[in-house]
Chain A
Amino acid sequence: MREMTMRMLVLLSLFFGLLAGPAVAQYVDEPLSDPQMERRAQQLHKEIRCLVCQNQAIADSNAQLARQLRVIVRERLEAGDDDAEVKSYLVDRYGDWVLMRPPLKASTLTLWIAPFVILAFVLGGAGLFVLRRRRQRETGVAPLDAQEEARLAAILDEQS
């Protein structure tokens, strides 16, 4: 009887061992001990893109890469990096794309300026339209001169 229970126990432990699966490095989100530094880390997490999910910041993503990047941000801060250094560490590896807010430089100029150009066009167009309307209303319709009166009379005569 006791042997039976022992055997059951061994089997059970084997079963649970299987459930645990292979040991692969897992990252747990552990806040930094310094609360001010942790705040900086969390702010940075909002500014760094999750490369797998693309339109999410790593702060919002549960993807493994996002989790790992969160840990790296904390590591860099603990190593004494300032915010810009943490970002450039990631930009060196993944390019500007890793930043949620693209930096202003030659290759991104169109991206930054296009909205203002479009706005200028729309405002300019609207302004022109209003101006022309107003001018038309102000000047009204010019009265016919003598020559035009004569032509009009001729046309009317012809038709009747």
Chain B
Amino acid sequence: MRLRYLLPAIAFLVVAVGLGVGLTLKPREIPSALIGKPVPEFSLPAVEGRSGSLTTADLKTGTPVLLNVFASWCGPCRVEHPLFMELARTTDVTIYGLNQRDAPADAARWLETFGDPYDKTGADFDGRASIDWGVYGVPETFVVDGAGCIQYKHISVLTRDVLEEEIMPRLRGEKHVPCEK
């Protein structure tokens, strides 16, 4: 007899908890399949007007680095840009910029207008390197350890909270994910 009243209550609780968990999920943010994997092989020329290039070897220098995927056509990139500028000014973190599918002149103008926080840039004209990196939106920001193992990926605008709670510790070598071979 008591079961009769208890069962609906239990069913309600299960559904409520299930829906509650569902509400906190972010289906737009797909976890990267590349966490704990070595960086893909790639080699890109620098953004127009800059010397050098960005290759796989630049991500295996022994110190952790940040790789930020940006584009001049990307509005949200402008929002997170000051944070990268600040990072470049106040810390010695190595920041690379992967410029996705941009017209060379546009990318160069964008960096001249808003400032260039990147130690090195790579111009991914056709977006193929981005696909190898599993990028599906811009901006995205990767943390790569000194051995070239992808540690973390943040999708969309980088916020100070994410920078301080997720990215900085990983740049210091905390929360390290060993690379599968």
In which size bucket is the chain A interface? 20 to 34
**Complex CA–CA separation, A125 to B156 (angstroms):** 46
From B30, B33, B103, B136, A22 is in contact (CB under 8 Å) with B103
Tally of contact residues, B, Cβ under 8 A = 23
Which residues of A lie under 8 Å from residue B126 when comparing CB positions?
Answer: 25
Interface presence of B27 (CB below 8 A): yes
Give a binary string over A42-56; 1 marks a CB under 8 Å from any B CB, 0 the rest: 000000000110100
Question: A-B contact count, CB below 8 Å?
Answer: 51
Give a binary string over A77-96; 1 marks a CB under 8 Å from any B CB, 0 the rest: 00000000000000111111
Stretch from A64-72, A136-144, A150-158 that touches the partner: A64-72
**B176 nearest CB across to chain A (Å):** 21
Check if A54 sits within 8 Å of B33, measured CB to CB: no
Check if A95 sits within 8 Å of B30, measured CB to CB: yes
**Complex CA–CA separation, A93 to B140 (angstroms):** 14
Which residues of A lie under 8 Å from residue B134 when comparing CB positions?
Answer: 93-95
From known contacts A22-B105, A64-B101, infer whether A95 and B131 are also in contact, taking CB-CB under 8 Å. no
**Complex CA–CA separation, A72 to B128 (angstroms):** 9
Interface presence of B85 (CB below 8 A): no
**Complex CA–CA separation, A43 to B105 (angstroms):** 39
Interface presence of A4 (CB below 8 A): no
Check if A94 sits within 8 Å of B125, measured CB to CB: no
Which residues of A lie under 8 Å from residue B106 when comparing CB positions?
Answer: 22
Which residues of A lie under 8 Å from residue B131 when comparing CB positions?
Answer: 65, 68-69, 72, 93
Interface presence of B102 (CB below 8 A): yes
Which residues of B lie under 8 Å from residue A69 when comparing CB positions?
Answer: 131
Give a binary string over B116-157; 1 marks a CB under 8 Å from any A CB, 0 the rest: 000000000111100111101100000000000000000000
From known contacts A25-B125, A52-B136, A68-B127, infer whether A93 and B34 are also in contact, taking CB-CB under 8 Å. yes
Q: List 20 A-B contacts (CB under 8 A).
A: A21-B103, A22-B103, A22-B104, A22-B105, A22-B106, A24-B103, A25-B101, A25-B125, A25-B126, A52-B136, A54-B27, A64-B127, A68-B127, A68-B131, A92-B33, A93-B134, A94-B30, A95-B30, A96-B33, A97-B33
Known contacts A24-B103, A93-B33, A94-B33; 7 additional CB pairs below 8 A are A24-B101, A52-B136, A54-B28, A91-B33, A93-B133, A93-B134, A95-B32
